[in-house]
Amino acid sequence: MNLNVENTKAQMRKGVLEYCILSLLSAEEMYPSDVIAKLKDAKLIVVEGTLYPLLTRLKDAGYLTYRWEESRSGPPRKYYQLTPVGRKFLKELDDTWDELAQAVKKTTRNNPAR
Amino acid sequence: MKKTVTANIAGTVFHIEEDAYEQLQRYLAGIRANFSGSAGADEIMADIESRIAELFTERLTGRNVVNIADVQNVEGVMGRPEDFAGEGDGDRTTAGAGTTAQATSGPRRFMRDPDDKWMGGVLGGLASYIGMDPLWLRIGFIVLIYFSIGSLIPIYVLLWILVPKAETAAEKLQMRGEPVTVENIKRVVEEGGEHLKQGAQRAANEAKEFGRDFGPKATAWGHEAGRNAGAVGRNAAHILRKLVGVGFIVLAFTLLLGLITGLIGGSISLWHFTWSSADMGLLDLGGLIFNSQSHALWFGIGVLVLVTVPLIGLFLAGFRLLLDTRTPKWLGWTLSILWFAALVPTVIAGAELASDFHRENSVRTEETLKQPQGDILYLDALNPADETEGWSVRFDNGAVDVDMDGLHVENGNIFGAWAQLDVERSADSLFHLQVVREAHGGTAKAALARAEEIQFRVEQNGDVLLVSPVLSYAMTDKFRLQNVQFTLEVPLGKSVFFRPASRYVIYDIDNVTNEIDRDMIGRTWTMTPRGLEDLTVPHRMKQEEEEVAPKDSTRKGPVAAVVWQGPSKRRPAQEHRPPARAEGTTNMMPNLLQLLRPRI
């Protein structure tokens, strides 16, 4: 039972993860560790590994682009930023999220049975 | 003290403790298994490795070596492979490259199994692919190799080269047809680690065992090899052993089988070697060759043991290499003693036989011939069926072909169609028939006595000379290469006609046109200064030549006419015949050219 709850929570977080990543990157150029730190703060993700496939996927879809930058400590880093297509996509997601949040709120909070 | 491994992670070099390295490798393999086959796999892995390098660098302040705690920390930060897997499930349609497209059970793939193999793992992989116990597959394959006379071996090698090896955990799962889930991958990876440990242990043991078998020097090497048993050396030695083992077994089995069937068939009847109606076995044949049947028996047994013992040894060696069985010591000793014991009668009987073949002698006689009425002597062969009762096939004018090789035994006599006839030029104006009989023996005298014992048959019926290809001698004389050579001497200008059956007697008769015996049959051959010549052929040739190159015949014709007066009055046209041999071919050329000219 407990496992199911955890799973459901994880699925919920995952659903919005892409949106959050795009949103974070729209504000400023970041490299994965920055993104992870922000997401961890917000308790959206627990482990870092999940982010890499997502970033690659978004990049392959044309929403993100990156550039290499030398690092003083360790290997060179990929700094990600949104492409114009990504910005358009994010705008759509913004609208969708607003609608969805409203709908969810309306459905769950106004449920007389609760 | 701990051993460290140097690893390059995303361009940075790290010293990693061995156990930490193993764990990291397993961890990365687990992650990779999730992405294998998807488009961005390499990039994702590069990103992850890059992050791991970063994490290590952060933690390695004041230290040089990555330990297991660091790896565990990385796993904690990055998450377990399961966490990676779950990510793609959310939205696979948004992006073209679904990262975990492989997470479900795909179709089974035929791959070589590195964990279950004797040689290349082809059959192990095939067994997984079709869901069979690999042992039965291997037994079946070895049997098939035998029946296909080894032609399956190249196919195996080809599969070895072509079929990919299941190296990653995901590939191994695909090979087994198990769904590529995170739990399964973890299991396979852990199993792999166990296999590695067991494999190294086993290799060390095997090397020691190998060393024990081959003396103290090899033992030292065995220990050394056991300690250093790397995957490469281990596999190569292993493969070679199995391969050589299979080769030994197949070879020994084939030869033994051939020997046994040959022996059984041979001792009952040598049907191909003789054309006798009464069956004759190896022992009977031995009795004809050796001075006594017991000599033959001892020689036969000796040779048999001398051949069989090494084959059994080969068989045992093959099994030892292939299946790691041990040959009991007493068996080796018994076989060795048996072999040396067999040497004695074989050498004695063989030497005695050889000495009886030592000298050769011959006796030359002449048969008186009635000279033919005309200029032509007709040569024919006597039907062997007239001489012995046992001939199963008769030949009549050469219409039926009989196997004339071999020997025939009847009424205490040995018969064989070994007599041969040659044709040469007579010194005078008469036909002669010279007969040379020859045989071998321990002394020249014994050989001569045997030669004189040889019976042959020649008959004359008007102008027909009948010579039998069959010669005979008493069984007590033994088989000592007895032979009869007839020489028919034909006087200059006279001819000999080879009747069809004569092909059983004539052998390698020289003639001007260099034709083989078979082609000489059914034609009249005239003795000319150049040798035997078929004068009817040049006659035909001449008419063609007159159309094409008449000069040729007029130039050559008189030369022949000066030397001798022509074969007979019956064929005056042949006095101007051209030499037969070369012109037949050379004059074809202008003929062909003329035919071509109008078209050019």
d(CA B475, CA B482): 12
- How would residue B129 be classed by pLDDT, with cut points 50, 70 and 90? confident
Strand segments, DSSP code E, in B313-431 are 359-367, 376-381, 407-410, 413-416, 420-425
pTM for this entry: 0.42
* Residue closest to B467 by CA, chosen among B364, B379, B377, B367: B379
Name the 3-class secondary structure at B416: strand
Q: Which of the listed ranges B154-168, B263-277, B584-598 does the model predict with the highest average pLDDT?
A: B154-168
Do A81 and A25 contact (CB within 8 A), yes or no? yes
Relative orientation angle of helices B122-130 and B134-147, to the nearest 10 degrees: 120
B11, B94, B97 member nearest A75 (Cβ): B11
Residues of chain B in contact with residue A93, where contact means CB-CB under 8 angstroms, are none
Region class of B28: left (phi > 0), else alpha (psi between -120 and 50), else beta: alpha
- Per-residue pLDDT of B459-489, as tens digits, reads 888 889 988 888 888 888 888 888 999 999 9
pLDDT at B88: 43
Largest CA distance in chain A: 58
Please answer yes or no on whether A57 and B84 come within 8 Å at the CB atom.
Answer: no
Residue numbers of B between 17 and 56 with CB closer than 8 Å to A: 31, 35, 39-40, 43-44, 47-48, 50-51, 53-54
H or E segment at A22? helix A2-27
Over 50: is that where the pLDDT of B384 sits? Answer: yes
Give the residue from A56, A65, A90 with the most B CB atoms within 10 Å of its CB, the best one to mutate. Answer: A56
Do B14 and B52 contact (CB within 8 A), yes or no? no
Over 60: is that where the pLDDT of B427 sits? Answer: yes
d(CA B460, CA B442): 36
Please answer yes or no on whether B86 and A54 come within 8 Å at the CB atom.
Answer: no
Average pLDDT of the segment spanning B199-212: 59
d(CA B443, CA B355): 9
Higher-pLDDT residue of B146, B372: B372
Which residue do the tokens 């008493």 mark? B474
Which residue do the tokens 């019956």 mark? B570
Over 60: is that where the pLDDT of B517 sits? Answer: yes
* Residue closest to B50 by CA, chosen among A103, A8, A69, A3: A69
Average pLDDT of the segment spanning B361-367: 90
The count of other CB atoms within 10 Å of the CB of residue B361 is 19
pLDDT at B395: 43
* Residue closest to A65 by CA, chosen among A33, A19, A30, A15: A30
B97 to chain A: closest CA residue = A57
H or E segment at B508? none
d(CA B539, CA B573): 8
Average pLDDT of the segment spanning B536-561: 47
B8 to chain A: closest CA residue = A75
- Per-residue pLDDT of B102-119, as tens digits, reads 334 456 677 788 777 777
d(CA B421, CA B429): 20
- Per-residue pLDDT of A18-62, as tens digits, reads 888 888 888 888 888 888 888 888 877 767 877 888 888 888 888
H or E segment at B30? helix B18-35
Tell me if chain A has a CB within 8 Å of the CB of B59. Answer: no
* Residue closest to A50 by CA, chosen among B186, B90, B188, B187: B90
Q: Which of B38-47, B199-208, B351-360 has the lowest mean pLDDT?
A: B199-208
* Residue closest to B570 by CA, chosen among B526, B532, B530: B526
Q: Report the gap between the CA of A113 and the closest CA in chain B (Å).
A: 30
Please answer yes or no on whether B47 and A33 come within 8 Å at the CB atom.
Answer: no
- Per-residue pLDDT of B429-442, as tens digits, reads 899 999 999 999 98
Tokens linked to A85: 């297509």
Task: Count Cβ atoms within 10 A of the Cβ of residue B484 and give its class: 0-12 exposed, 13-18 middle, 19 or more buried.
Answer: buried
Please answer yes or no on whether B31 and A32 come within 8 Å at the CB atom.
Answer: no
- Give the mean pLDDT of chain B: 73
pLDDT at B559: 40
| Range B282-286 contact pairs with CB under 8 angstroms and sequence separation of 24 or more | B284/B409
Residues of chain A in contact with residue B24, where contact means CB-CB under 8 angstroms, are none
Which residues on neighbouring strands pair with residue B414, listed in sequence order? B409, B473
